[in-house]
Every structure is written in structure tokens, then in C-alpha cells.
A = this chain, B = another copy of it.
Amino acid sequence: MAAKKILVLGGALSGPAAATRARETDPEAEITLVGRAKGVNPALDALALRLSGEVSDSRRLEPRRPGYYRNVYGIEVKTGVTVQAIDAEKKKVKTDDGTLAYDALVYALGAQTVWPEVDGLEGASNASALDSVKDLRRVEQLLKQGKKKPPVTILGGGPTGVAAADALARRGAKVTLVEHSRQLLPGFSAPAAARAAKALEARGVEVWLSAAPDVAHRRKRRVRQIQLTDGRTVDTELVLVATGIAPRSELLAEAGAELRDDRTVAIDERCATTLPDVYAAGGVVASVHAITRKPVWTGSAADADKSAQVAGANAAGGERTLSPTLGTTIVRAGDLTLARAGQTSPDLRISIVPGTPTDRSLGDRSKVALTLYFDPKERLRGAEAFGTGGVVERIRVLATAAQGKLRLEQLADLDLGHAATHGPVRDVVNVAGRVASRGVAPVVPWRAVDLDPPPEGVMVIDVRASKARKRGRNAPAGAKHIRLPRLREKAKDFQSQKWVVFVCDTGREAYLAATIAHGLGVNEPGYLSGGLAHFDAELERPV
């Protein structure tokens, strides 16, 4: 029998991963990898770290030489080749370098930025996306030509736009970030997104929310000014387009493959498309969500890599199935890191707990706040974290916990070990699990939105010390003030109330007050989860 011909389309991250896995599965196959560009594209934040000037070593962005794949894996690599059409019936792929036949095909052409329809934007010589090393070099070039502190406009406030804004602000550019919706970072909660905006503003970035570009005014081929739909304008020397990425699925659709509504290629759990012997992987496919079990397109490099391995193995005759995703996302915005994992939909129960990523006794001022999302049986479904330290570690622990279906009680008791440089004896993950679980005391976390204003019949008690109260944020209108140490002696003031909700700056003292109130006979006492600091951000109403 002749060797099986496996053709892999896509020379970036997913293509090579699929091709090498195919080789491990079938040692005899003729494997050919076709790539449009010459380079591999690292994940977004590696590009951003170069854009910011924090990492200068750009040699490492060079791809492995085709010879490496040939010698080690016996894979034929064709770079600089563009795919033009796929004939699924005849099992042939037409390229600008001739026609290639296949027995099995892996389609891994990735995703790319979708440019918004703005008059004058397309074709402008000073507008670019940030999808690839090529884009990075182009942007670098444009920045070098400009002023010392060039005005840059970034369209789109998703992870790409935020990372780019952060990087360019670090480099000294005057950045305006324009986002059409009411918050940055869809997929993150409103309070987290509000913190991200503030952190960027602290670095000098202008964040314009609920703002859409209308016209790009050009002089010759260069955009000089962006006009928004509400009439405002912003002068600019460079426009970075980050309004969202979409799968490059057209060629497969033209060949007759079924697409999903989000334009990803429809695949089964083996990454097989609806075309015979055609597999799809990487940025063109969705993964199944580990918690909701629904298909979800994350655009994440980690997910792309996983589907590539499955598609490659199966194209070579293997039997692997695609593992689920948690949609884990990590974004940097100024001094703040934000991260999320799992299911964080607003219909789940939540608990917000602030803490420190190091032992308080070390005097480090970093902070990290966790929001847990869980079901009525107290099983962890997802989490969000933001702060100035320890965020990535905490979200990875919580992602692993969600994958392992841990209950809040188990999270409270999880043995994370202890290192003062990595947290207090009771880590914020443990505290979050304990506070969220109703096992200890039947106290109820309240959300800021439910106290703005407090509903009829709810007594709000501010338990902060007078000094903290003067310095801190305002309590909800009509709040009573009883300092925590006086709670017992003032019990009569609230014992007979039907609904009592305690508030403080962080949620910590208020939680304690609620457990004490429970002991004093109050039924289901509440506390403002996350505290007034969080409250403020959550209630912020962007223009």
C-alpha cells in the first residue's frame, strides 16, 4: 500500500503542531505542510511585550527552519505558498505554486482581524492590525517614522486592544482606545472591566467607551483624524485595528464544508469536518466548553494548539478526541492583571473576595480579588480574578479546580502549601471558598446592583471604623453606622429586622459582622460581597 498523503494547510502555530502529531501517529505517511508566511506567529501577548519595548530579542520570533521538520519529523515544508481553492471531491488543493493531492487534509488557516466598515480606513498606509510578526514590524516602522510621543488610536477594547493600548502606553505613545460597547473586555464582569479602564487611564491612555468610529479623514494615504459617530474627533498618526478576529474559514466553506453561525468550521469531537477526510483545527474551529458543554470559539492559542494535535493525529489514522476548554483568558492593563476561567455567567451565584498575594506581614502592597461562580450545589463553575499580583497563579488554580469539579468546601480546605512570598497561611483561594460556602454560616452575599438603592425593608449597616468611613467610599443611602466591635451591644438596633445587610470597604468585616449577626439570631444576614470599593466600580455607569 502506498504511503498516505497528509496535507496540512497553515504554517503558524496550529499547522506544525498538527503535522508533527500526524507524524507521531503514522511513521510512513507523506506529510506536507503549506504556509503562507515565512514566520510563526507567537501568541498576542508575546507580540505586545515586544511592542512595549520590554522584550527586545526579536531573533526568537524567527520560525524553525524547514530543515528541522524535514530531518526530525520527515515533514515537507512549503513556505510562502498561498492556498487558492480546495476540491474536496478530487482531494486536491490548488495553490499559487501548483496543485497538491491529499488522502487526508488538515485545514488550519487560523483567524485574522476583521476590519470595521469605516470610510477611509481600509487601504490607509498608517493603519494596521496586530495579528502577526509582520504586523508587529509594520507598526514598529510606523512608530519610528512618527513623533517622539505619537498619537495612536486603537479601535476595539477586547483583549487585543487592551494589550496593545497597554504596550503602546508603556512605550510612551499617546493612546486613545475606542470601544463601541459600554465596557472593555467582553467576557469579564463590569467591575473588572471598569478596573481595567482605570488602570489604563492611570498610564495615560484615554479610554472612550460607547464610541464608534464613523469616518477616517485622510491626507493622501494617511489617516490624520478619526471622527466618531457622536461627532467627537481624535487626531492620530497610527490606527491599530483590534475590533475582533474571525476564523479564516472561507476556503473550506467554498469547498462545501458546513460552517457554524459564528463562521467557525463545523467539526465533530475528532475535529473531522463535514467533508470526507478533511479535518480542521486551530483558529478556525470552536471547542466544547468544559462546564457548559456548548461549543465556544475562544481564539486562544492554547485551544488552537490542542485542536491541532487532535486533527493531526486523526488525519493520520489516530483516534483522539478534542478536550474541552475553560476559556481561560489572561490580560494585562497597566499595573493590573485580569484573568477569567470557566463559566462566569451572571445567572450563577457569586462571591467576591479580596486578598493579598503575599503574607501581609511582608508589607507588600499587591492585591488580588477573586470572584467565584458556582451552582446551587456549591460546585465551582468558573472564576474571575484581578489585581496587582498573584492573579495568574490564582486563576490557574481555580481553572484546575473547576476542571476537577471541586466544591466550595474543598476549595476552602485545598492544601496549597504555604510560602509567605506567595500568600498568607489561608490563601485567598481558601478564604474565597470558605466565604462563598454556606456550610459555616448561612450568611448571604449581596451584590452591589441589588443595593442601589437598598430595597424597601432592607437595613444596611456600615460596620467600618469612623476613620475608614471618612477615608473610604460612601455607603448606600440611608445606611446605619455601627462599628464592628460594638455590634453585640447594639444588637437590639437590628435584631428584629427582616433583612440586614452589612457593608465595609473590602467585604471582610461585613462578612464577619454577618456571621456574628447570625449568632445573634438574625435570619440570613447579608453582606456586601467584595465591599464598597468593588461596589463603586460595579455601579460605574460609563458614558
A residues in contact (CB < 8 Å) with B: 13, 21, 23-24, 26-28, 42-43, 45-46, 49, 55, 57, 60-61, 68, 71-74, 290, 300-303, 305-306, 313, 320, 323-330, 332, 337, 339, 341, 359-363, 392-393, 395-397, 399-401, 403-406, 409-410, 412-422, 425-426, 439-441, 484-488, 512, 515-516, 518-521
With A361-B55, A392-B393, A417-B341 as given contacts, are A488 and B74 in contact (CB-CB < 8 Å)? yes
A440's nearest neighbour on chain B, judged by CB, is: B24
12 A-B pairs besides A306-B413, A401-B404 with CB distance below 8 A are A24-B515, A49-B421, A60-B361, A302-B415, A323-B409, A324-B413, A327-B415, A330-B417, A337-B419, A341-B417, A401-B403, A403-B406
A337 proximity list for chain B (CB < 8 A): 419
A sample of 20 inter-chain contacts (CB < 8 A) reads A24-B516, A24-B519, A42-B359, A45-B419, A45-B420, A60-B360, A60-B363, A61-B361, A71-B485, A72-B485, A302-B418, A305-B425, A337-B419, A392-B393, A392-B422, A396-B416, A397-B397, A400-B400, A400-B416, A403-B415
A400 touches B425 (CB 8 A): no
Contact of A363 among B27, B57, B68, B301 (CB under 8 A): B57
The distance in angstroms between the C-alpha atoms of A128 and B136, with both chains bound, is 59
With A23-B519, A519-B24 as given contacts, are A414 and B393 in contact (CB-CB < 8 Å)? no
The distance in angstroms between the C-alpha atoms of A157 and B404, with both chains bound, is 36
A417 proximity list for chain B (CB < 8 A): 300, 302, 326, 328-330, 339, 341, 392, 395-396, 399
B395 touches A404 (CB 8 A): no
A327's nearest neighbour on chain B, judged by CB, is: B415
A26 proximity list for chain B (CB < 8 A): 519
A512 touches B72 (CB 8 A): yes
Contact of A302 among B303, B410, B425 (CB under 8 A): B425
The distance in angstroms between the C-alpha atoms of A516 and B487, with both chains bound, is 70
A21 proximity list for chain B (CB < 8 A): 440
A305 proximity list for chain B (CB < 8 A): 425-426
CB distance from A528 to the nearest CB of B (A): 18
The distance in angstroms between the C-alpha atoms of A302 and B431, with both chains bound, is 12
A426 proximity list for chain B (CB < 8 A): 302, 305
Contact of A328 among B410, B416, B425 (CB under 8 A): B416
Most chain B Cβ neighbours within 10 Å, of A23, A325, A485: A485
B393 touches A403 (CB 8 A): no
The distance in angstroms between the C-alpha atoms of A43 and B392, with both chains bound, is 24
A290 touches B13 (CB 8 A): no
The 8 A-B pairs at the shortest CB distance, nearest first, are namely A404-B404, A27-B519, A328-B417, A71-B485, A323-B413, A326-B415, A330-B419, A400-B400
With A401-B404, A419-B45, A420-B46 as given contacts, are A301 and B341 in contact (CB-CB < 8 Å)? no
A330 proximity list for chain B (CB < 8 A): 417-419, 422
A520 proximity list for chain B (CB < 8 A): 27
A415 touches B49 (CB 8 A): no
Contact of A416 among B302, B405, B422 (CB under 8 A): B302
B301 touches A425 (CB 8 A): yes
CB distance from A107 to the nearest CB of B (A): 20
CB distance from A388 to the nearest CB of B (A): 14
A316's nearest neighbour on chain B, judged by CB, is: B519
The distance in angstroms between the C-alpha atoms of A85 and B16, with both chains bound, is 72
A61 proximity list for chain B (CB < 8 A): 361
A425's nearest neighbour on chain B, judged by CB, is: B301
A55 touches B362 (CB 8 A): yes
Contact of A72 among B46, B406, B484 (CB under 8 A): B484
CB distance from A473 to the nearest CB of B (A): 22
A306 proximity list for chain B (CB < 8 A): 413
A301 proximity list for chain B (CB < 8 A): 418, 425
The distance in angstroms between the C-alpha atoms of A341 and B485, with both chains bound, is 40
CB distance from A49 to the nearest CB of B (A): 6
The distance in angstroms between the C-alpha atoms of A520 and B73, with both chains bound, is 12
A519's nearest neighbour on chain B, judged by CB, is: B27
Most chain B Cβ neighbours within 10 Å, of A57, A395, A417: A417
